[in-house]
Amino acid sequence: MRHDQDRDRSPMQGQSVNAAASPNGEHGGSSILNWIVRYAVPLVGVIGAALYGVLRLAYVFFYLWLRATPDEVGYGYSQVLADELVGAAELMVLAAVVISAVGLTAIILARLNRWAIGKYRSKGVRLRFVGRPEIQRIVIWAFIVAIPVVLVGLPVLGWLEGAQAANGYTVRNVYLAGTIRLPVLAVEAVPATVSWTSTPQSDGLGISRRQCLLYLGQAGGISVFYDVQSQESIRLPSAQIAVSLQDTTSVPVGC
């Protein structure tokens, strides 16, 4: 009788063990993949969209001064991310380094001050320097602060550079001085002279006589220019003109 009970109970015990082991095995093998599919992939998409929105806003602010749009001069979604992603990351790292240095300096100076005051009050006061955990926390917070600083700073930079270009100054690939030559803003407004390669039916714009033109770029077979003197944007068929870019810091004096 006891043997029959043990025999009847044995399969149930085996099933319970297998049932408990199977979910654990499946969970352990697919938990990372499930997390990536559920959280990481949508997060990357959201971050990419937000970054593209900020970078495009910087381009819009720049070309707004020049009466053009980023798409008209060849800056679409892929072009903006390809030209700006590395530069934005460089700017973010540099901002985090500066913020970290300021934070560490402030903490060290504060502790030196407390140590100097305590030294005259009691001789047992010891100076405690910044430890590794504190440095790690400072670096993490520096990156957290650097992200919004860069996201706000890029559109502001685009607006300021656009104002410079509208005044006739050359702007080509804005870099950070003294750093790697990676453009923070890959914009372009270069003094240029334009001539027709074939005789147009009518040249009411007087293109060949304009000496205050800035070349902005081209897309879809249309080249875009900005006349600093008349403050108007001009669009010409790229196949019918010859463009000569000038290696100068601004358009001619008097524009």
Six-digit token pair at 9?
């109970």
Q: Kindly give the confidence (pLDDT) of every residue in the chain, 255 residues in length, as a single tens digit, with 9 standing for 90 and above.
A: 444 444 444 444 444 444 444 444 444 446 766 766 676 666 666 766 777 788 889 999 999 999 999 999 988 777 777 777 777 777 888 888 999 999 888 888 877 777 677 654 555 555 566 677 888 888 888 888 888 888 888 899 999 999 999 999 999 888 776 556 667 888 999 999 998 887 765 566 788 788 999 999 999 999 999 999 999 999 999 988 999 999 999 999 888
* Residue 146 backbone dihedrals phi, psi, to 5 degrees: -65, -30
Dump the DSSP string for the chain: -HHHHHHHHHHHHHHHHHHHHHHHHHHHHHHHHHHIIIIIHHHHHHHHHHHHHHHHHHHHHHHHTTT--TGGGT--HHHHHHHHHHHHHHHHHHHHHHHHHHHHHHHHHHHHHHHHHHHHH-TT-------HHHHHHHHHHHHHHHHHHHHHHHHHHHHHHHHHHHTTB-EEEE--TTS-S--SEEEEEEEEEEEESS--S--TT-GGG---EEEEEEETTEEEEEETTTTEEEEEEGGGEEEEE--SSBSPTT-
